[in-house]
Structure 1
Amino acid sequence: MGNYYNNDYDREYERRDTYRYDNEDNYYHEHNRHHQCDNHIKPSIVKPSLDYNVSVPISLAKSLEGKYFVGHVENLTFGRCTGAWARLYNPKDSGVNLHVTVWTVSDLSESPFRAGIWFNTNPPGVPYKSNFVTPANLALHPLPKSRIKLQYSKDVTGEPNGGDEAYFRIGQPGSTLVSEEDGKFIFHLEVPF
């Protein structure tokens, strides 16, 4: 097989234009790339008519909706009979339920520590608001604002008042505790975690 022509216009440019190699059997001229004939190669990929069922992780789905937030608090200091805490607080005017996906605690000290997970409690000390909260999806405009508050307090004395200590973890020096909750911790309005 050789070149094929669409019309006299293509013959005029035969010697001046570059030919492209398509496969072992066919060459085609740039002007004829949309030409269809029996000698022209048909696409080798056939688009199947399939129905697709895609599973999207809930964290990705909520991020796409602008409802997935990440954050941290500044370094917490404690010791010599004092403690520290950080919490997610769902105020009564938030209008949303709080789902906890993952939490982490990193130990930068040289001593082990105990991390208690409390539900529905009032912690000791004065709560401070963390400024380190952001939506996970930064492609949205305007960026959504979290209605949940990330709060913390350091060098406090005493235990949390009321509520339940759901469980605790022991962290080793220089380690990070990570707990994947996958949204199973759900808190209604005005409930701290």
Structure 2
Amino acid sequence: MKSSKVISKRRAFGRIPEVVTIPNPLFKSLEGKYFVGQTQILTFGRGTNAWGGLINPKNSGVNLFVNVYTVTNFSGKSFPAKVFLNSLPPGHPLTSRLVSPTNTSRNSIPKVKIQFVRSTMGIPRGGTNVFLRETSPKATLVSEEDGKFIIPPGGSFVIFLAGPRSGIVKSKIAFGWWEEKRKSAFK
């Protein structure tokens, strides 16, 4: 009896479309546009700092959408993590090879690079320090940004780690992001 009532209700309302809602990062992964990666271990302190960032090359042809970042503190001391937009960070950066598309069934290669410096003097030049987070000892700081930071070619999203005055700390920075080809509305 119940199933016949359900059928008659469907007939009364006509065809009801089924709608599926999926999170944007999953949708971007299905398209082969979502990437994840991390720096190598950063070792700094006693007057030195470190950083890791998403660097969008000038000739990339894509906008970078920052979705998530993490800072893992392997040490027993806390240290500040400062987020800089479009700055020039100090030191001679390395490019991480620890990067992958999240949809491994596609042969997607990111245009955006994860770069980092394990230990350096100085602070980022230019750009904007948009906020500060304090990392707890032996913990991971997680910040979900949902793509709200949009970085054009030639820009950067950098996490700058200020070292403690005494002692050495160890950390890693990881990112999740997607890329979209630039359109005239964003140029």
Give the ranges of 4+ consecutive aligned residues of structure 1 lying more than 3 Å apart after TM superposition: 43-46
Distance in 1 of aligned mates of 2:147 and 2:40: 24
**Match of 1:89, as an amino acid?**
I
Distance in 1 of aligned mates of 2:94 and 2:38: 12
Give per-residue Cα distances to partners, 1:73-105, cap 9 Å, x unaligned: 111010100000001000111111000000000
Q: How many residues align?
A: 149
Give the superposed CA RMSD: 1.7
Correspondent of 2:26 among 60, 83, 86: 60
TM-score normalised by the chain length of structure 2: 0.76
* Matched position secondary structure for 1:61: helix
**Match of 1:99, as an amino acid?**
F
CA displacement at 1:57 relative to structure 2: 1.1
| Equivalence for 2:146 | 182
| Equivalence for 2:100 | 134
| Equivalence for 1:104 | 70
* Matched position secondary structure for 2:45: coil
| Equivalence for 1:149 | 113
| Equivalence for 2:55 | 89
**Match of 2:152, as an amino acid?**
H
**Match of 2:95, as an amino acid?**
K
* Matched position secondary structure for 1:59: helix
Correspondent of 1:122 among 85, 88, 100: 88
**Mind listing any 5+ residue stretches in structure 2 that lack a counterpart?**
158-187
Distance in 1 of aligned mates of 2:73 and 2:40: 13
* 1:166 counterpart = 2:130: yes
| Equivalence for 2:168 | none
Distance in 2 of aligned mates of 1:125 and 1:58: 35
Distance in 2 of aligned mates of 1:51 and 1:161: 53
More strand by share: 2
Which of 1 and 2 has greater Rg?
1
CA displacement at 1:110 relative to structure 2: 1.0
Q: Whose relative contact order is higher, 1 or 2, with alpha carbons under 8 Å and at least 6 apart?
A: 2
Distance in 2 of aligned mates of 1:131 and 1:189: 20
**Match of 1:117, as an amino acid?**
V
CA displacement at 1:53 relative to structure 2: 2.1
CA displacement at 1:50 relative to structure 2: 2.2
Distance in 2 of aligned mates of 1:122 and 1:139: 35
Correspondent of 2:42 among 64, 71, 76: 76
Distance in 1 of aligned mates of 2:35 and 2:46: 34
TM-score normalised by the chain length of structure 1: 0.74
